[in-house]
Structure 1
C-alpha cells in the first residue's frame, strides 16, 4: 500500500541523535577526538532551519444521499450531499532563505488551509502565507510574515548522491516531538509509484513515518538533499521504504514559484521509453541506461534543436539520465523558456544539443473545448487520457456529474490521449457528446449537450 504522508502529520525539528554505523571513518562529524562519534554538532547547525507547520481550514466532504431520502428532493434529487467541514493538521517545513523568510514544504501539508502557523525550534511562532504551490510534484513555498533571526539550511546537490550514502531524516512522527532518524540512500530516480504526477524520488531506509511530511533529508554534512514526502508501508507505518523529492528538483520548482507564483513547465516534445538491453543491442549502443526517443513531435523544442527518433538521451545539463521517467521529471521542473544542454547517443557517438523549452500548454480551461465543461481544468495524463485536475463547486460541469480526477478516455468513442486530441475530438463531435470516463476502477459514459 502506497501511503502519502498526509497533512495530519507533523513537524520538523530535531532532537535525538542516532548512531549510524560502526565504521567511524565514514562519519565526518564527531565530538572531541577522545569521545564517541556523534552527529550532534551537525544537527545543532541544521535543526533551527526545520520548522513545525500547523494549519487550519475547511474541506469539502461528499456523502451519498440514501435512496430512501432522495424522494424528498423530487425525481432529479441529488445523489450526493456536499458539506464543508473544518480541519486542523500538522506538517513540517524547511527554511531555505532566512532573509526572505522562505519555507519549503509539501503541497499536501498546506492544501486547503486558510491559516498557517510556523513554529521554530526555539518556540517562536509566526504566521505564514503561501507564495505558490505545485500539486503535480507536491511542493509548496511559504513566506514567514515578519520573521526575525531566522536560520536557513544549506541546499546540497542531489545529483551527486550515490546509493549507499548516509542520510538523516528530520521530522515529528506521530506527533511524538522532535525526532531524527538515520539510514542510507537505498535507490535513486524512483518513479511510476503513483504518488505524484511528477516523480523522481530518492528512496531511503531512514525511518520516515506519518509526521515527516515536508521535513528535511540531509547529508552528514548537514546539506539538504531532499524533502520527505511519502512512505510505502501498511497503515502508514515505516517498513524502511521512504521517498523524498530531490533538492535539485525542488530548487528548480521554487525558483519558478518565487518568480511567477506558479510553476510554468516547459515541454521537450518527445515520446519514448527506457533504454533496454534489447534496444541497446539492436542499435549497437555501448550503454545500458538512458531515455530512448521513439518519436519527436513536429515543431517541438526537440525537433527545432535537431533531436531525432532513435536518439538516446543520457544526460541533461551534465546530469546523468537513467530512465525516461527521469527525463520527464527533470524537464518538467526546469521551466518554460529555459535553455538546457541535452547529451544523446546517436550512431554510437555522443552529441550535445542546446534546447530551449517551450511553454507547456497541456493544462487548459475546459470551457474552451466545450461549454458544458465550464468550471473544469484539464491536463494530459501521460498518454493515458486527459485528467480533470480541478472542478468548481456548482459549475456546469459539476452539475453534469463530472468529478476531480476523472480521466476522459474517449469522445464519441474516439480515443484521446492528449489535450490536442481532445480538442480535435470535440471539434469533430456534434451537439451531443458522449464522454467515456474512467473513475477509479470503473468506466462510465456521460452525455454532454450544448456544444
Structure 2
C-alpha cells in the first residue's frame, strides 16, 4: 500500500515536473528581450564607423558664411580750442577736421543656406539688417558678393543672390510639418566666426510660440548647440534636407544652453517663393481677430480642455466675412493642422499663398463645421501717401502713412484701418527724441483729429506754441505735451 502510494506520488511528481519544465520553457521564451531592448556588439567595420559624416558632406557645401557691412557716419566731439586761431597755428587748418563727420564701418557675421543651383541664399534678416555690402564665403573658401533680393523683418528672414557663376551646391527643403519631437537633427553654421561647425541634437519641441523673436512665432526647438554666428544656418534632418533656419538661443550668458530655436522650413520656403515672385512678401488677409482660449473660456464653451482660437471680430467685406465666419466661432484647425493659440493660427494662415483657398475646422454651437476662406491680399482702401516730415516739429524725421488694411497688415497692426501711422523714425531726429516708434498711431494734435498725412504735414509747417499730441500705442492712447 505504501509502495502503491509511493508509486502514485512518483507519477504525480513526474507530471508536475514536466508541467514546470514546460512552463519554464514558455516563461523563458516570453522573457526574451525585444529587438529594441537588445544591446548589440557591432559585427562589422561599417557598424563601428556609424557616423553623420555622409550627411554633413552632402549639406556642408550649401551652408555659407555671411559677412554684412554698413557705413556709419559719426560726428567727432569738437574741442573749443579749435575755434581759437592761436591753437590752429599749431595744429594747422586740418584741426577744423575734428568737427567734420567721420565714417566707420560696422560689420556683422552670420550664416546662410544655398537653396537653389542659381545661388539663392536664405538667411536671417537681423544678420544683414541695414547692410550696404554683403559677401558670402562658401565651404570651399571661395567668396562672392551678394545682392539682397528680399528682407522680411516680420519673419526675420532674408533672401540673397550670389553674384557668381553657378551651378552651386544647394540643399532641398523638407516638410517641417512632419518633424516630430525626438527626431535627430544637425545644426550647421559659423558660430563665433571660427569657421563652419556641426552640432547634433534632437527636436525638443515643434511649435514653440512664446519666443518673441518674430511676429509669426512658431519655432522648432532643439538642444543642438546654437551659438552667435549660427544665425541663418541650416537645421537638417537625417535625410540631409532643410527642416529649419537657425535663428536664436535662449541664454543669459550669450552661449548655448541647449535651448535653440529655428524657423520652420515651411516658413522659409514661403519667403523664398515670394522672392521668386517679385521680391515682396504678400500675406493673405483674413479680416478678423482671434484670441487665446484659456481654461475659463473653455469651461464657458463646454470644452473638456482649452483648444483652438476664438473669433472676436469679423470686419465687414473681409474674406472672413464673405466666407461666413462668425464671432464666437472656435477655429480648431487650418487645412487639417491643429491650432492651439493665436500664434500657431497666424503661422498656419500667413504661410498660405495668395489666390488659393484654405479650410478652417470650426466649432459652432458645439457642432463641427468647415469654413472655406479665399486667400486674398489686404486692400489699400485709401492711398498710403507716404511722407517724410522735415519741418521743425515733434514729428521731424518721422515717415508717416495713411492707414488701410494693407498698411495695417504690413506693419502688423491688427484691426487698425483708419488714421495716420508712423512707419519709420530716423535715428537722432526730433521724432526719435520725443520717443515716437514705428507703429504709433497719431490720433490727434491740439484736440484736432488727424485724418491724413497731408493734414499732418500742413500742421507741422505752422507749428503752434504748444503741442498736445494724442498717440496710440498697443491699443492705449497717451497724451504728450511739448513746447513749440
Query: Alpha-carbon deviation of 1:426?
Result: 10
Contact preservation (8 Å) 1:336, 1:360: no
CA offset at residue 225 of structure 1?
1.0
- Provide the residue aligned with 2:252 in structure 1: 234
Query: What's the CA shift for 1:360?
Result: 3.5
1:53 and 2:66 equivalent?
yes
Could you list the per-position Cα deviations for residues 275-303 of structure 1 after superposition, in whole angstroms to 9, with x for gaps in the alignment? 23332332234664212212222221111
TM-score (norm 2): 0.70
* 1:248 paired residue number: 266
1:111-138 CA deviation, whole Å, 9 max, x = no partner?
2222222211112222211111101111
Per-residue Cα deviation, 1:242-264 (whole angstroms, up to 9, x for no partner): 11111111111221122121112
- Residues 1:294 and 1:93: Cα distance change in structure 2 (over 3 Å): same
Q: Do residues 408 (structure 1) and 440 (structure 2) align?
A: yes
* Alpha-carbon distance in 2 for matches of 1:262, 1:316: 24
1:19 maps to what in 2? none
Query: Is the CA contact (8 Å cut-off) linking 1:435 and 1:447 kept in structure 2?
Result: no
Three-state SS of the structure 2 residue aligned to 1:128 is strand
Aligned to 2:12: none
Match of 2:131 in 1: 113
Deviation at 1:216, TM superposition (A): 0.6
Q: Which residue does the alignment assign to 1:376?
A: 399
Aligned with residue 471 of structure 2, among 413, 421, 436: 436
Cα distance between partner residues in 1 of 2:431 and 2:272: 36
Q: CA RMSD for the aligned pairs?
A: 4.1
- Residue 135 of structure 1 corresponds to which residue in structure 2? 153
Q: Which moved more, 1:264-273 or 1:150-159?
A: 264-273
Q: Does residue 1:209 correspond to 2:227, yes or no? A: yes
Alignment of 1:28-47 (within 5 A): 33-47=46-60
Distance between the aligned counterparts of 2:356 and 2:482, measured in 1? 41
Q: Partner residue of 1:258? A: 276
CA contact (8 A) 2:61 2:169 kept: yes
Question: Where does residue 86 of structure 1 map in the other structure?
Answer: 105
Per-residue deviation, 1:448: 11
- State the match for 2:191 in structure 1: 173
Instruction: Determine if contact 1:109/1:214 at 8 Å carries over to the other structure.
Output: yes
Deviation at 1:343, TM superposition (A): 2.2
After the TM superposition, which residues 185-224 of structure 1 pair with which residues of structure 2 at under 5 Å, given as runs? 185-224=203-242
Structure with more of its chain in helix, by fraction: 2
State the partner residue of 1:20.
Answer: none
Q: Deviations over 1:386-410 (max 9, x none)?
A: 974423579xx85685667355366
Worse overlay, 350-359 or 127-136: 350-359
| Structure 1 position 349, deviation (Å) | 3.1
Greater strand fraction, Structure 1 or Structure 2: 1
Number of corresponding residues: 399
Which residue number corresponds to residue 445 of structure 1? 480
Q: How far apart are residue 377 of structure 1 and its match?
A: 4.7
Looking at structure 1, the residues matched to 194 and 213 of structure 2 have their Cα atoms a distance apart, in angstroms, of: 25
> 5+ residue gaps in structure 2?
1-35, 39-43, 84-99, 402-410, 460-466
Question: Structure 2 vs 1, CA of residues 256 and 233 (structure 1 numbering), >3 Å: closer, same or farther?
Answer: same
Change (3 A) 1:351 1:426: farther
Matches within 5 A, 1:331-410: 331-360=349-378, 364=384, 367=387, 375-377=398-400, 379-382=411-414, 388-392=422-426, 401=433, 405=437, 408=440
**Cα distance, 1:447 vs structure 2:** 5.8
Indicate the structure whose relative CO is greater, using CA pairs within 8 Å and at least 6 residues apart: 1
Q: Once the two structures are superposed, what CA deviation does each residue of 1:368-397 show, in whole Å capped at 9, x if it has no partner? A: 999967851563445799974423579xx8
Structure 1 unaligned regions, length at least 5 = 1-22, 26-30, 73-80, 415-420
Q: Please report the TM-score for the alignment, with normalisation by the length of structure 1.
A: 0.75
